[in-house]
Structure 1
Amino acid sequence: MSVFTPVEREQLAGFLSGFDLGRLIDHSGIVGGTENSNFFVATEQGEYVLTLIERGPSAELPFLVELLDCLHEAELPVPYAIRDRQGRALHELNQRPALLQPRLPGRHVDLTDASHCHAVGKTLAQLHNATADSGLQRRSDRGLEWMVAETQALSERCAASARQLLQPMSAILERLQRERPGLPEAVLHGDLFRDNVLFDGHHLTGIIDFYNAFSGWALYDVAICVNDWCLAETGGLDVRRAESLLAGYGSLRRFTPLEAEHWPDLLRLAALRFWLSREVAANQHAEQSSVLIKDPMHFQRLLEMHREVRLGLPLAL
């Protein structure tokens, strides 16, 4: 991910002296994201990832540590906070909250097939099952209220064609706020794109980057996932891969009729959320050449493709 706050070797060596990880061998910044500063770190004891948290209140970081401990105990392939000699999981480096975690094996998959999607769906269901009754709670700072405000702001400055997409989304947002449908809830990853999942061949070896995790509708997490993993080259969804992801998920947590009713709107909502957040990031970091700016138009086009949703959820008979 992009490096907003650099870390010098001497600083990192001093930081690592509080752990039982041996001498620092090497470190390098990770390029590819938009929110936190991340570094690969190699020591005599192994390989790790250091993250400096750049966004969000530090008071919510204990939630992240507890969430990752919960998922690790449930035997999901996730990183977790390494404790120092005093048993502390949360640290500070260069005036930023810092976490040190194991580096998971595997690599990101750019060209996905049905087996990758099935594995992702199944693992996402495991994540939701592990957290549904955990008592862990965190409010999203990019939830419905944020989307309402950002949709209005974007509508005031965008082209007429974009406003035509945003107008019906405003109605959907208003209805979801008013009705608050009783869909199954869990802790959501919130950002389960291809660059946050690791594979060794077709074996899923890791889920990373839980910094956007929050409590909410499990189906919304599924929609976020489908919108990245199951895209056709010509736009819209690749039905075979989408059905595989949904089947993998449904094999461990059955979808409900109410979820099937709201599925099209949540697919649209997931596209809108990342259209808006990419617009915000593009405006904030326009003058910073070192920061990766992801194209907001990608999700604008996807939202347009979602005007008609033909893909349904697999419901148990």
Structure 2
Amino acid sequence: MSVYTNVSEPELAQFLRDYDLGGARALIGISAGVENSNYFLDTEKGHFVLTIFERLPRNKIPYFLDLTEWLSLRGIPCPRPVHTTAGNSLSTLCGKPAAIVQRLSGASIVGRAPSVAEIGVLGTLLARMHLAGEAFPERHQNPAGLLWWQETARYLVPHLSPENNAVIADEIAYQSALNRRDLPGGVVHADLFPDNVLFENGQISGTIDFYYAGDDAWLYDLAVVANAWCSEADGRFDRALVTALWDAYVATRPPRTGEEALWFPLLRAAALRFWLLRLDAVHFRRPGTITQCKDPEEYRRILLMRQRGA
């Protein structure tokens, strides 16, 4: 989350007239993330998160709001959208699509390593999320899949070293040759990093930032989580953590035939995706009041380690 669009008091007051939330008491920009403008919003009736969508086309946004409402109603702790008095989850602020969602309690573990117990809770929740989303009726292909990798790699070429361009090209070729069509899947979060998970009293109280969600292999989503939560500084796996994650996940959603054989290929796919995403954010950075770019080298190291099976 970041802030690219500043909101004035009159603009906010006009916006809130469409909601039954009372007047605004505070609006504070959130620095985490890279895609949208996000604020903590306090009103006379509670605490919320306000998101202004900077890049997503307006017609694509209802999918994400519908998804979080669907999952929330099925016991997954995620922010339900707040509807306007006319019943809409999506509105307009500063000429851009905007939404208000519940602010969930708890805190992320950003700044420290997760415990084995926390990783176990996370694995169980991710499996529950996948199963809860299996019957979600709306379809939305993972927007950061193979075609996005190829396109992003092409326009990054002049900004990267020959060595890095070669690593990326070789990995895309490897991934292009994989057959993932028969893997079980459905809705995936695709960005469940430590800053997108809230804990309270040892349990997960919230999962947030679903704006990369879409349809893909469930195992790919587990790979995203494994790389993000279970990697050492040099990119190697912390074996105790990744084992705890896997064991907890498969206890709730047992793997089907052929899934385990693609575990490391999908770990590589997840590493490539976030290396490219971070390179894109660094080299094509958008101006904003509060913005954050994460280190691309972290995911280069992770990819190289996964290529070695480490």
TM-score in same-fold range (> 0.5): yes
Secondary structure of 1:306's counterpart equals: helix
Question: CA offset at residue 269 of structure 1?
Answer: 0.6
8 A Cα contact 1:136 1:187, kept in partner? no
C-alpha displacement of 1:234: 4.2
Please state if 1:69 is matched with 2:82: no
- Partner residue, 2:33: 33
Deviates further, 16-25 or 183-192: 16-25
Instruction: Give 1:15-94 correspondences, 5 Å limit.
Output: 15-94=15-94
Q: 1:271 to 1:211 in 2, by over 3 A?
A: same
Relative to structure 1, the CA distance from residue 286 to residue 298 in structure 2 (aligned partners, 3 Å threshold; closer, same or farther) is farther
Q: Structure 2 residue aligned with 1:170, among 172, 175, 196?
A: 172
Aligned residue in 2 for 1:129? 131
User: Does the aligned pair in 2 maintain the 1:165–1:303 contact within 8 Å?
Assistant: no
Higher relative contact order (CA 8 A, sep 6+): 2
8 A contact 1:138–1:214 mirrored in 2: yes
Q: Is the 8 A contact 2:4 2:288 kept in 1?
A: no
Give the Cα–Cα distance (whole angstroms) in 1 for the partners of residues 148 and 172 of structure 2: 12
Q: Secondary structure at the match of 1:169?
A: helix
After TM superposition, give the deviation of residue 141 of structure 1 in Å.
2.5
**Residues 243-276 of structure 1: CA deviation (Å, up to 9, x unaligned):** 1111221121011231111111110110000111
Deviations 1:94-114 (A, max 9, x none): 011111011000011022111
C-alpha distance after superposition, 1:154-175 (max 9, x if no partner):
4565324324522431222221
Who is 1:314 aligned against? none
Question: Identical aligned pairs, as a percentage?
Answer: 34
Q: How many residues align?
A: 308
Q: Distance in 1 between matches of 2:287 and 2:78?
A: 34
Name the structure 1 match of 2:248: 248
Give 1:76 deviation, angstroms: 0.9
> Equivalent residue of 2:10, what SS?
helix
Retained in 1: the 8 A contact 2:48–2:103?
yes
Cα distance in structure 1, aligned partners of 2:154 and 2:17: 49
Match of 2:118 among 100, 116, 119: 116
> Does residue 303 of the first structure (1) align with residue 287 of the second (2)?
no
- Paired with 2:267 and 2:79, the residues of 1 have a C-alpha distance of 28
Provide closer, same or farther for how the CA distance between residues 223 and 204 of structure 1 changes in structure 2, counting only shifts above 3 A.
same
Moved more, 103-112 or 61-70: 61-70
What do residues 113-165 of structure 1 show as CA deviations (whole Å, max 9, x unaligned)?
A: 11111111111111110112322210233211111233344456532432452
TM-score using structure 2 length? 0.94
Unpaired stretches in structure 2, ≥5 consecutive residues: none
Distance 1:115 1:3 in 2: 34
Change in 2 beyond 3 A, CA 1:88/1:163: closer
Q: Partner of 1:40: helix, strand, or coil?
A: strand
Gaps of 5+ in 1: 311-317
* Structure-2 residue corresponding to 1:315: none
